[in-house]
């Protein structure tokens, strides 16, 4: 016999179970996305210890195969540490154009099942399939299984899916089903599912918060759920009460289908701190091509260009410039960023990291375009679009602007790496 949906004194009032059952929320998360795409393109990499990132000491891991993860390698780990843990790992330089193209195909698959898709990044999204449940006469987990099958068949990669009545429970479920899994948490099982997990599984509970909770004897979500409100408010403030609500499965957020990316950028940490302007300009040019390619892949143009510098003492500054016309051209981005760099004058100390970002994004189809009487702008755009296609097919670095090679040589390769496109 089903337990009545009546809260205990220490339990916040929840939405009735029949209302939760009518909602189908999916969190779809691709498995080691960058690596998976590379393995699709290069089958010889399958089953190998693969790291996507730049093979420089100060670079970080962007993605790692599950074979590499067995050595404790994870995203955002310094490359130097990753290669110490797994010296025979195969390091593959990223191809962001390709990843964004695959991401666009992935979002199209989602759109075939529901209009309520909320992308979180290039490789994960929330889907509300409640309407599809009624339209197709299929349970949410059946729709999730169909989506997994489509992704494997159409894209040649795998995904893990969590199914629940709320967004945050679906996200926890997808993480616990990896890789290539499907985990369903029914509304009536939500509290039991959550209460068996460590408190760190909740959103917003990071390392420092876990230390505070541990001093209170709170180690599991169940411990948190049964902690008096006054104790949590005194120790954590309002976020503590919010976390307690989550511990009982309370999450009223709806899937928001329109979520435009606010900026697109790229940055590089040098292998050795840089003082030479030529080296900084060369890196800016390369970053401009990376950012422009990503802008074009998403069909957007940037109205504002942002330059970021991090010095050897880790202090960071940024400067921005608003363009008269939004752009997706590397040449325009580079020109604006170079002017920002020159305006800074002499630098107080060597540069550790440089970054370039496009902000105030607009749909490229509706954005005005800079006119040119001698068609130089059209020629540049045609060349950059050709570079996109070559990079997508053969990998980044097969073709690069001649000026980038010249600036690299002028810089004397001060970052200790061969030039990249």
Q: Could you list the residues known to form a binding site, using ranges.
A: 29, 123
Residues present in the chain in total: 421
Structure tokens given for 14:
């929840």
> What Å distances lie between residue 366 and 321, 333, 375, CA to CA?
21, 19, 20
- Other C-beta atoms closer than 10 Å to the C-beta of 195 total 17
List residues bridging with 385 in a β-sheet.
none
Structure tokens given for 101:
């193209």
Structure tokens given for 100:
């964004």
List residues bridging with 301 in a β-sheet.
362
Axis crossing angle, helix 96-111 with helix 33-41, rounded to the nearest 10: 100
Tell me if 350 sits within 8 A of 311, measured CB to CB. Answer: yes
Surface-to-core class of residue 276, CB atoms within 10 Å of its CB (0-12 exposed, 13-18 middle, 19+ buried):
middle
Tell me if 17 sits within 8 A of 188, measured CB to CB. Answer: yes
> Is the sign of the CA dihedral 399, 403, 405, 408 positive or negative?
negative
Structure tokens given for 383:
């060349």
Is 124 in the active site? Answer: yes
Choosing from 118, 124, 283, 407, which is the catalytic residue?
124
Residue ranges of the annotated binding site for Mg(2+) are 29, 123
> What Å distances lie between residue 66 and 74, 96, 98, 288, 391, CA to CA?
9, 21, 21, 32, 26
Question: What gap in Å lies between CA 331 and CA 59, rounded to an integer?
Answer: 26
User: Looking at the annotation, which residues are catalytic?
Assistant: 124
């Amino acid at each position: 016999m089903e337990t009545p949906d009546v809260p205990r004194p220490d339990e916040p009032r929840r939405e009735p179970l029949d209302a939760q059952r009518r909602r189908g929320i999916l969190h779809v998360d691709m498995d080691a996305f960058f690596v998976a795409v590379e393995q699709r393109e290069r089958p010889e990499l399958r089953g190998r210890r693969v790291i996507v990132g730049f093979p420089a000491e100060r670079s970080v891991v962007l993605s790692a195969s599950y074979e590499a993860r067995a050595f404790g390698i994870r995203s955002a780990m310094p490359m130097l540490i990753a290669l110490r843990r797994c010296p025979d790992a195969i390091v593959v330089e990223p191809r962001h154009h390709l990843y964004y193209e695959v991401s666009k195909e992935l979002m199209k698959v989602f759109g075939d099942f529901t209009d309520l898709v909320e992308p979180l990044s290039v490789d994960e999204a929330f889907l509300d399939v409640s309407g599809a449940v009624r339209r197709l006469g299929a349970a949410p987990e059946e729709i999730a299984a169909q989506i997994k099958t489509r992704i494997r068949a159409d894209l040649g990669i795998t995904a893990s899916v969590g199914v629940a009545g709320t967004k945050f429970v679906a996200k926890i479920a997808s993480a616990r089903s990896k890789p290539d899994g499907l985990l369903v948490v029914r509304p009536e099982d939500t509290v039991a599912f959550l209460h068996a997990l460590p408190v760190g599984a909740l959103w917003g509970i990071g390392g420092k918060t876990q230390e505070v909770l541990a001093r209170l004897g709170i180690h599991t979500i169940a411990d948190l759920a049964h902690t008096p409100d006054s104790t949590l408010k005194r120790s954590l403030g309002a976020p503590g009460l919010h976390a307690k609500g989550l511990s009982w499965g309370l999450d009223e957020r709806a899937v928001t289908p329109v979520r435009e990316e606010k900026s697109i950028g790229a940055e590089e940490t040098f292998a050795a701190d840089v003082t030479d302007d030529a080296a900084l300009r060369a890196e800016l040019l390369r970053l401009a091509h990376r950012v422009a390619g990503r802008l074009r892949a998403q069909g957007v143009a940037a109205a504002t260009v942002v330059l970021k510098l991090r010095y050897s003492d880790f202090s960071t500054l940024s400067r921005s410039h608003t363009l008269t016309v939004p752009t997706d051209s590397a040449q325009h981005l580079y020109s604006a960023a170079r002017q920002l760099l020159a305006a800074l004058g002499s630098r107080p100390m060597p540069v550790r990291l440089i970054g370039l970002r496009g902000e105030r994004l607009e749909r490229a189809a509706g954005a005005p375009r800079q006119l040119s009487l001698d068609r130089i702008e059209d020629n540049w755009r045609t060349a950059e679009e050709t570079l996109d296609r070559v990079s997508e097919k053969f990998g980044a670095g097969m073709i690069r602007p001649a000026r980038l090679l010249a600036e690299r040589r002028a810089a004397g390769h001060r970052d200790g790496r061969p030039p990249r496109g």
